[in-house]
Structure 1
């Protein structure tokens, strides 16, 4: 795997620094591409906040390859708002801001976390709302030639998408309803392995549906080499399918962030 294919998730790496200092730190560590979860506490930040964020990326000389839509209170356990009936307006407003940021920075992918199941709403009602909101997001992303990503997630029992099949079913539903065609699977090897999904089979059977890949080792969600995932195997499988996109480094470093990248040279030395 070419080292230039990696993009650093700066919402989980370099967190010892202020958020606006992280793009420059990633550049100093040898990376040219970064990605972020939604980087603001609110779905619609001020123009000044947006400009400061964009300028930090531009001045660092890195490209923004991925951006999450607003996902609610992530530290508090929320994992998206797009399937929450009472928050559709909030999500719609956020989509417009996110697309504006991506248009300025040339970002081509948005991660749309689906949202946890709610006690006060029936699953079918949430799925209907999610379909409507994802169609809206897909059409907005299409204006700038971007993709909307759907991700299975581990560690949150109320989150309904746990396998690649769950996410692909959502993608098919939204594509039919739109009609739109720019939703893809976010294949996060950490989440799939932790949830017991067969990531090799997913890659082999659904390679043309993969829009982005993210990695962390398991157990622990730290850098590759700290757990049991055979990344060389999965990277070879991805190469066989023709995947040529970025690999997002979305792990919690076991020590200092800048010291957590030695595995890249080791893996490339092993002809990954």
Structure 2
């Protein structure tokens, strides 16, 4: 491992799933981590306050900080991959916007991931694109009131056949379009290096070219989505490149552990697991401007 200042967090929606949700923050802390992230952890977009309070208490009692949260993405286990572009689910997404933003803000979390949503049979791409744009603008406006950034993620088509955003180029085009045409400044790219590598992208080259535009990073090894060291990627080179090219956010561990979760961190020395503040004051990665052209495909 490089001796770098990268900050790591554990995604509690995919790690420590051997335990009930409310026990996972403490398990992450016991493994040496001080930062965690989550997919939307509730079955409804606007859960009872007692459920929000219980999760908030579990995170704070463990001494951990929430650093990333997904907006409600639907039934992920059943194949949903977001709501914001889907006409039948748009109202659910909008119900969730302020709930997710306020919950994140209550824990000091400033990164919210908005999964785009699967393509819908009988609905044109342009209709879904226009709806997605409307909902991303709404989400970003809500996030801006608490100083948060909305991030957009590309997924791999091998496991997410109906998800339309499958490359860093497409995701960055959407970010550019929203920034330039809709003047949305608090939107950025979530670089999930597992999904991008599965699509054949050179993640090291991506880091070298675009690290300053990342609003968040997530990692897992390829092709099995296990912890670093169980697959094909050169993690020393990738993580060193993130540091060298100035990435200042968190690196989210979003892998399916090979073996028990607590035994899957040997690749990361314990001294590297505790994290401080992700960014120096005033250096939100989403504030980085771009001069790259916006492709017609995202208009």
TM-score (norm 1): 0.95
CA distance in structure 2 between the partners assigned to 1:112 and 1:189 by the alignment: 17
Q: Does 1:62 align with 2:64?
A: yes
CA distance in structure 1 between the partners assigned to 2:5 and 2:220 by the alignment: 16
1:220-245 deviations in Å (ceiling 9; x for gaps): 10111111111111112111211021
CA distance in structure 2 between the partners assigned to 1:13 and 1:86 by the alignment: 31
Query: Match of 1:247?
Result: 251
> How many residue pairs end up in the alignment?
268
CA distance in structure 2 between the partners assigned to 1:211 and 1:4 by the alignment: 14
Query: Match of 2:127?
Result: 125
CA distance in structure 1 between the partners assigned to 2:121 and 2:172 by the alignment: 25
CA distance in structure 2 between the partners assigned to 1:2 and 1:39 by the alignment: 31
CA contact (8 A) 2:5 2:243 kept: no
From 26, 34, 50, the equivalent of 1:24 is 26
Residues 232-241 or 127-136, more deviating? 232-241
Shift of 1:4: 6.9
Query: Match of 2:186?
Result: 182
Query: Match of 2:293?
Result: none
Q: Does 1:191 align with 2:195?
A: yes
1:165-215 deviations in Å (ceiling 9; x for gaps): 010111112223432111111111110110112222322222221111111
**Greater helix content:** 1
Query: Match of 1:152?
Result: 154
Moved over 6 A (4+): none
CA contact (8 A) 2:10 2:28 kept: yes
Considering only aligned residues, what root-mean-square deviation do their CA atoms show, in Å?
1.6
Query: Match of 2:36?
Result: 34
Flag the structure with more relative contact order, 1 or 2, with Cα contacts below 8 A and sequence separation at least 6.
Answer: 2
CA contact (8 A) 1:3 1:264 kept: no
From 220, 224, 227, the equivalent of 2:228 is 224
Q: For the structure 1 residues 62 and 4, does the alpha-carbon distance in structure 2 shift closer, same or farther, using more than 3 Å as the test?
A: farther
Query: Match of 1:237?
Result: 241
Q: Does 1:7 align with 2:9?
A: yes
Shift of 1:97: 0.4
CA contact (8 A) 1:4 1:31 kept: no
CA contact (8 A) 2:4 2:243 kept: no
Query: Match of 1:87?
Result: 89
Q: Extract unaligned runs of 5+ from structure 2.
A: 273-299
The SS at the match of 2:13 is coil
1:141-184 deviations in Å (ceiling 9; x for gaps): 11111111111101211101111001011111222343211111
CA distance in structure 2 between the partners assigned to 1:26 and 1:84 by the alignment: 34
Q: For the structure 1 residues 200 and 4, does the alpha-carbon distance in structure 2 shift closer, same or farther, using more than 3 Å as the test?
A: closer
The SS at the match of 1:129 is helix
Q: Does 1:263 align with 2:257?
A: no
